[in-house]
Amino acid sequence: MSTIATTPEPPYYAVIFTSQRTEGERGYAKVAERMAELAAQQPGYLGMETARGADGFGITVSYWSSLEAISAWKRVGEHQAAQEAGKNTWYSDYHLRISRVERAYGLGT
Amino acid sequence: MSTIATTPEPPYYAVIFTSQRTEGERGYAKVAERMAELAAQQPGYLGMETARGADGFGITVSYWSSLEAISAWKRVGEHQAAQEAGKNTWYSDYHLRISRVERAYGLGT
């Protein structure tokens, strides 16, 4: 179960990863869990939020302290293998957007 | 069913709205649908993507051409009423982040 990430005061960076899953499990859940674990170990990682509906459409947002941290995470070997499997097996479509968070507020603020 | 938004070349803006739904429907779906419809009519609207899991945790990302467009949408009367109902009735927690998309790519790019 995902929860709302506790992030510092802006500015920081958000990677918005939107995807449509193919049919069938195909080993996805295990690797997704491992990637979440591995991302959390990277320098500059601030948090992650994820949601996927019954229709297979999902959004994962990961938060980072810098663009350099995002680039470094993209290049991690085990993550690159997962990216390839994503393209070839798990996603029928996806879009990735790298953005700079400028303002943020929550319930009661 | 949500699909991947077709957005222009960056830069543009993304509003990342992360939320945890309370238990029960409470008139939520109808208003959520109406807000998606109303947002799409606003100046500067570029698109929207949304996903919510069975656990009630959801992410909606809306895309806009400028910060001014985001501010104007926040002030639309019918939207303000929905924001109040969100705080009081539909969400046990939420976080809203306004970000500037700097880079984007999809499957096959």
Question: pLDDT of A15-47, one tens digit each?
Answer: 999 999 999 999 999 999 999 999 999 999 999
At A48-60, the pLDDT tens digits run 999 999 999 999 9
Find chain B residues with C-beta within 8 A of A67's C-beta.
Answer: 102
Residue B64 tokens, joined: 């806009």
Residue B101 tokens, joined: 């998309």
What is the average per-residue pLDDT within B66-70? 98
What is the DSSP code string of A43-65?
TTEEEEEEEE-TTSEEEEEEEES
Among chain A, residues having any CB pair with chain B shorter than 8 Å are 1-5, 7, 10, 14, 16, 18-20, 49-55, 57-59, 61, 67, 87, 91, 93-107
At B20-57, the pLDDT tens digits run 999 999 999 999 999 999 999 999 999 999 999 999 99
**What are the CA-CA distances from residue B2 to residues A57, B29, B78, B79, B103 (Å)?**
7, 14, 23, 20, 22
CB–CB contact B4 A20 (8 Å):
yes
Lowest mean pLDDT among A1-5, A31-35, B23-27, B91-95: A1-5
How far, in Å, CA of A96 to CA of A83, rounded? 12
Residue A44 CA from chain centroid, whole number:
14
Q: Which of A55, A93, A97 sits opposite B14 (nearest CB)?
A: A97
Phi, psi (deg, nearest 5) at residue A29: -60, -40
At A109, the pLDDT band (50, 70, 90 cuts) reads: low
Taking 90 as the threshold, does the pLDDT of residue B107 lie above it? Answer: no
CB–CB contact A55 B1 (8 Å):
yes
End-to-end CA, chain A: 24
CB–CB contact B93 A101 (8 Å):
no
